[in-house]
C-alpha cells in the first residue's frame, strides 16, 4: 500500500510540474471552464471534436496540484474517445473520488487521484476539470 501511495503521489506531482496538453487550443470546437473558490483553482478546458470523437484536448489554469494534475490527466485520458466514452469515464472518475469506489481499470493513471475520496475538502479540486468536460460535451450534442 505504501508503494502505491508513493506511486500515486509521484504521478500527481509529475502532472502538476510538467502538465500535458497545457495551453489554449486555438482550433477547439468546444470549451468550458470553472473555478473552485474554496481553493482558488481555475481550469479552462478545450476540446476539438471530429464528429463525435475527441481528437484534441488541452487545458489552461492555475491552482493546487490536485486540480491541475486532474486536468492534465483528463486531457490525456479523453483524447481519441467518443463523447459517450468520455462521459462514461467522467462518471467512473466521479464514482472514485466522490463515492470512494475502487478505481475502474479504465481510469488508468487517474487512479492516482483515488486518495482524494478521503479528503472531502479536495474533492472539488479533483472534479473541477471533469465538470468542465461534462459541460463542454453537453453543449456538443
Ligand atoms: Zn485545489
Count of domains forming the chain: 1
> Binning pLDDT at 50, 70 and 90, where does residue 140 land?
low
Alpha-carbon distance 106 to 118, whole Å? 21
Alpha-carbon distance 71 to 61, whole Å? 9
Range of the domain at 116: 2-140
What's the CA-to-centroid distance between 66 and ligand 1, angstroms? 6
Tens-place pLDDT, residues 17-39: 999 999 999 999 999 999 999 99
What's the CA-to-centroid distance between 98 and ligand 1, angstroms? 15
What's the CA-to-centroid distance between 121 and ligand 1, angstroms? 9
Tens-place pLDDT, residues 82-112: 999 999 999 999 999 999 999 999 999 999 9
What's the CA-to-centroid distance between 65 and ligand 1, angstroms? 7
Residues near 62 by beta carbon (within 8 Å), at least 6 away in sequence? 40, 41, 42, 68
By the CB criterion, residues less than 5 angstroms from ion ligand 1 are 39, 41, 64, 67, 125
Considering the entire predicted model, what is its pTM? 0.95
- Which residue in the block uniquely carries the three cell numbers 466521479? 94
Q: Where are the alpha helices (DSSP H) in 18-122?
A: 65-78, 83-97
137, pLDDT greater than 80: yes
Alpha-carbon distance 28 to 115, whole Å? 32
What is the pLDDT averaged over residues 64-80? Answer: 98
> Binning pLDDT at 50, 70 and 90, where does residue 2 land?
confident
What's the CA-to-centroid distance between 38 and ligand 1, angstroms? 8
Give the model's pLDDT for residue 4: 85
Q: Which CATH number does the domain housing residue 83 bear?
A: 3.90.1010.10
Give the model's pLDDT for residue 95: 98
141, pLDDT greater than 60: no
Amino acid at each position: 500500500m505504501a508503494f502505491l501511495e508513493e506511486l500515486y503521489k509521484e504521478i500527481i506531482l509529475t502532472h502538476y510540474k510538467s502538465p500535458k496538453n497545457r495551453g489554449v487550443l486555438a482550433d477547439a470546437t468546444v470549451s468550458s471552464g470553472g473555478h473552485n473558490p474554496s481553493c482558488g483553482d481555475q481550469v479552462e478546458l478545450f476540446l476539438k471534436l471530429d464528429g463525435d470523437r475527441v481528437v484534441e484536448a488541452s487545458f489552461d489554469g492555475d491552482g493546487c496540484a490536485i486540480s491541475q494534475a486532474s486536468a492534465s490527466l483528463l486531457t490525456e485520458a479523453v483524447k481519441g474517445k467518443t463523447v459517450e466514452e468520455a462521459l462514461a469515464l467522467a462518471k467512473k472518475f466521479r464514482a472514485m473520488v466522490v463515492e470512494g469506489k475502487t478505481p475502474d481499470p479504465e481510469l488508468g493513471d487517474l487512479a492516482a487521484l483515488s486518495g482524494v475520496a478521503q479528503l472531502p475538502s479536495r474533492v472539488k479540486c479533483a472534479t473541477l476539470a471533469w465538470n468542465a468536460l461534462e459541460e463542454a460535451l453537453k453543449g456538443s450534442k
